[in-house]
Structure 1
Amino acid sequence: MSKTLLLLRHAKSSWSAPAHNDFERPLNPRGERAATIVGMMMKQEGIVPDLILCSSARRTLQTMDLIRPYLPRACPVEKSSTIYEAGIEQIFAALAEVPDNIKMLLVIGHNPGLERLAVSLCGEAVGEDMVRLREKFPTGALAFIELKIDDWKKIAPGTGQLQRFVTPKDLV
Structure 2
Amino acid sequence: MQVQETKLKGCFIIEPQIFKDNRGYFFESFNEQKFEAATGHNGHFVQDNQSASSYGVIRGLHLQKGEHAQAKLVRVLEGKVLDVAVDLRPGSPTYGEWVAVELSAENNRQLYVPRGFGHGFSVLSETAVFAYKCDNGYNKEAEGGVQYNDPTLKIDWQIPAGKEVISEKDALLRPFSEFNPE
TM-score, normalized by length of structure 2? 0.32
Question: Which protein is richer in helix relative to its size?
Answer: 1
Question: Which protein is richer in strand relative to its size?
Answer: 2
TM-score, normalized by length of structure 1? 0.33
- Answer with 1 or 2: which has the greater Rg: 2
Greater RCO between the two (CA within 8 Å, min separation 6)?
1
